[in-house]
Chains A and B, each alone.
Chain A
């Protein structure tokens, strides 16, 4: 009789344990999926941005033909962004493109007809809108990454995370040094004309 009770209790504990572990595992999967979903929010904006670049370069070329270096910088940054893999890699490429675009817009200041062109102004508006959206998407993504990383690094989830290969996700970080550099470029362009 007592043997049966002990057996029943043991089975009960095991079943309970399995349920708890399954719940923890599902929590980790949900958390990781949220990171993926948040990433798609950034990705959409990065693609939107990249898709505007050829049009922008063509428009600027129509007015400022001999600024070849600037065009090349932008085009190179764009292709690097398209080939980027993972959040950190994408962030670096995106920061490069941001820098290149700022350079391009600084150069464009020297061409009043370009500044006055509707097409150019529309592209400029659109790009600054995308830049804002990337900032918001980044905020949401990084918050999700932080929550996920905290989760898989803390007891008891870390044990489970190790067993089922849940690894830290990368943050999408803006590069403020890059921004400072562009500011120097901007003043250089202003002096240049």
Chain B
């Protein structure tokens, strides 16, 4: 008997859903960024000794200038990010001749998902792991470590690559690239401004005569506190988003390779492997299929964890 095709969510519908979620999260990041720029305006104008009557106008002007500069840097970072990620990971591109099995698997999955063929990369590292990056499905990259190729069976490798292809299909690669850039810029700005405040405080004391009074000081303190916590807020938002995308990539990856059990097996193998991934750091950890930096379990660790626990993911996959 011919097997009946199974109703499944098509890639197009998932992309639509992803676009909506992206919009909401982006709105959150825009609000956060606006707060950051206003804070910059407040701090700069306060230390420039602006009279209280002009404080609002000067703050806004300084904030807008800072926003324009930050957007420019952000766009540059966005275009450089995928190449930077591959370089940091120490990946090298492979052809069909170099790695026929991996290449064919990716080829098959790109046919099965209707996505263009991504560039295939290998990281020479014994720890089994994989990631996807890029700005769009047309310019996407998937990378597997040598450990993944050596330690996994073919069906498991196929499942892992299906998970990575799903990150491409769901447009997670673009989403997470943008988010990483925004988080990076917020952290950079907060750091710069806090140093400036520290340094500026000295200059301010010698300028006291022009000064603002009590309200100005309160606003200043609010701005500084906001800048202090903004990288943390951005980080939490990013991790929450990343975990959501992992669940989705698991389920759509399982659908793509038609083998949830293989993905569950692969995740268990990856989690149990004792080799640490040398080339992963905090900036790239969220890209991998399983958390490469395994630390102790604590509340903050959970809050900042880029991935849901492997046990939970395996449980969901086995229930499929």
Contacts and interface: CB of A to CB of B under 8 A. Distances in A.
A176 to B, nearest CB: 6
B10 A41 contact: no
Contacts of B2: 173-176
A119 interface: no
B5 A143 contact: yes
A171 B8 CA distance: 15
B108 A133 contact: yes
B113 interface: yes
Interface residues of A, number: 25
Interface string A167-185: 0000101111100000000
B111 interface: yes
A139 B258 contact: yes
Given A145-B5, A171-B5, A140 B12 contact: no
Interface size class of B (residues with CB under 8 A): 10 to 19
A175 to B, nearest CB: 6
A57 interface: no
Given A143-B10, A146-B5, A171-B5, A132 B108 contact: yes
A129 interface: yes
Given A37-B114, A132-B108, A140-B113, A176 B10 contact: no
B7 interface: yes
Contact of B112 (A136, A175, A177): A136
Contact of A34 (B1, B12, B104): B12
A28 to B, nearest CB: 14
Nearest to A38: B114
Contacts of A175: 2
A165 B112 CA distance: 29
B33 interface: no
Contacts of B12: 34
A21 B45 CA distance: 55
14 contacts: A34-B12, A37-B114, A41-B114, A129-B104, A132-B104, A133-B107, A133-B108, A136-B111, A136-B112, A137-B111, A143-B8, A143-B10, A145-B5, A150-B7
Interface of A: 34, 37-38, 41, 45, 129, 132-133, 136-137, 139-140, 142-147, 150, 171, 173-177
